[in-house]
Amino acid sequence: MADIHAERILILDFGSQYTQLIARRIRELHVYCEIHPCTMPFEQVKAFGAKGIVLSGSPYSVEQQGAPLVDPKIFDLGVPVLGVCYGLQLMAKLLGGAIDRTAHREYGHAQLEVTEAVGPFRDMRPGEHLDVWMSHGDQVSAPPKGFRTIGKTANSPYCAVANPERRLYAIQFHPEVAHTPRGRELYEAFLEDCGVTFNFRMGAFAEEEQARIRARVGKERVICALSGGVDSAVVALLLHKAIGPQLQCIFVDNGLLREGEAQQVHQTFEDRFHLPLRTVDARQRFLKALERVDDPEQKRKIIGGEFIAVFENEVAKDAKEHGEARFLAQGTLYPDVIESVSFRGPSQVIKSHHNVGGLPEKMKMQLVEPLRELFKDEVRALGRELGLPEAIVSRQPFPGPGLAIRVLGPITEERLALIRKADTIVREETAGLKNLWQAFPVLLPVKSVGVMGDERTYESACVLRAVESLDGMTADWARLPYDLIARISSRITNEVRGINRVVLDVSSKPPATIEWE
């Protein structure tokens, strides 16, 4: 079996908001890549064995004190290097070029003229023009010795430079963003120069990861917390295919799930795929713990604490029946890993990589994280490769605390019933809208006056929240068609007895968050 990780690209992160997009674009071209902080020691960079290296952008000026740098020896490794925006300025500085700090800041669209068809422009013609996206304050005023101009704009005579003999390329703009329409072609041309074979595909990944799991786990048992979401579902099915009966899945019904969710988990994983599944009905336990609690942070802590207690109890039961499990499976994705290592300043880390509720520390279990190299869209593709139903593969992200954070104020069975019915309607009406990241209702802790027939009502109000996003880190409110909004509102107020008003949330992230609590 071919090693799909053998041909890999190293992305050194200098703190750019676009670094993840670089990785996504390269992965979309079926080439494996990893993001590491620019502080990665040179010996580790060398040992990584990359077929090519990309230097990301950065919020820093390359000339300011404390600006992030790299060891110049990376340019002598004999592999292609592509500097993007800050990467261009850094390459120029380290190799003897000059930077103009007084240049006018350039942000937004620009038109680049290709002057030489090499490196990322190898498949283009001299004189060809490209729309590109700029975001910089410094620019190169004199390229290093041995470099020549391969692209220019009206404001940047050295917008793209190269030393083709050393296969060093640098560009002032961001080809990874959608505002550079032909950016994919530029990355593809660079990757061709790296000599990769574009073989990173989910079918091969599934086979390789199953072999890895078997080699690591041996004959030991593995516990997997199954929520029904796409991440845990793919983890469970991948493990099941790898180790079969050595896997024990545990599904906790906390009473905060959406309509029919518990039944769907049972039908899919136990009846269809025949996974070893232990279902725990903890609905009353969670509802009792949440009585009269309206603070969102307190809700989260209570739910997390109760989940840990229930899960520990079930693991203990499993140990009595089958012996102690040594491994805990977790659906960590690559963005979680990136956020714990990416460069955001000399010492600042945006958040620490976290385990599920602290369970591994308490249970002394080793983590198995088969998806830690994948982005969300790749996880969905892997799910399809494994045969998961589309209803689970394309399922919208659902918060860990469930409906508890979509019911503002105290949690009761009656209020949960209202939000479940409203949620079902929203999901039915928005099914098939491809660009939606999430669409859901939020029950407000306020009532309003309404009229139903000839009667005055005084019932709850709910918010319709729909957003578009690539990864959940930023989001824009979705411009749903008016007739669709009207239909959702009409159905909720007519079919959900207890809600008489629907309002629309038109806030983006930032400044708002996707969820309300």
Q: Judge whether 159 counts as a catalytic residue.
A: no
DSSP H or E stretch at residue 328:
strand 327-329
Q: Judge whether 270 counts as a catalytic residue.
A: no
Nearest to 488 by CA among 436, 449, 446: 436
Nearest to 7 by CA among 189, 190, 187, 199: 199
What 3-state DSSP class applies to 70? Answer: coil
What sign has the CA pseudo-torsion 136, 140, 144, 150? positive
Give the residue carrying structure tokens 């422009």: 121
| C-alpha–C-alpha distance, residues 405 and 183, integer Å | 39
Q: Judge whether 266 counts as a catalytic residue.
A: no
* First-last CA distance in the chain: 47
Give 460: exposed, middle or buried? Use CB within 10 Å, 0-12, 13-18, 19+: buried
Catalytic residue among 85, 194, 249, 462: 85
Catalytic residue among 106, 176, 209, 314: 176
Largest CA distance in the chain: 84
Q: Are strands 247-253 and 222-225 parallel, antiparallel or unpaired?
A: parallel
DSSP calls for 123-175: TS-TT-EEEEEEEES-EEEEPPTT-EEEEE-SS-TTSEEEETTTTEEEESS-T
Tokens of 486: 């009207």
| C-alpha–C-alpha distance, residues 343 and 332, integer Å | 20
Tokens of 336: 């979680």
Catalytic residue among 174, 194, 209, 261: 174
DSSP for residue 509: B
| C-alpha–C-alpha distance, residues 452 and 108, integer Å | 51
Answer whether the bond into residue 276 is a cis peptide, omega within 30°.
no
| C-alpha–C-alpha distance, residues 222 and 324, integer Å | 9
Number of H helices, E strands in the chain: 15, 20
Give the residue carrying structure tokens 């007895």: 497
| C-alpha–C-alpha distance, residues 474 and 508, integer Å | 8
Alpha carbon separation from 373 to 205, 231, 345, 471 (Å, rounded): 10, 13, 24, 15
Supply the residues annotated as catalytic.
85, 174, 176
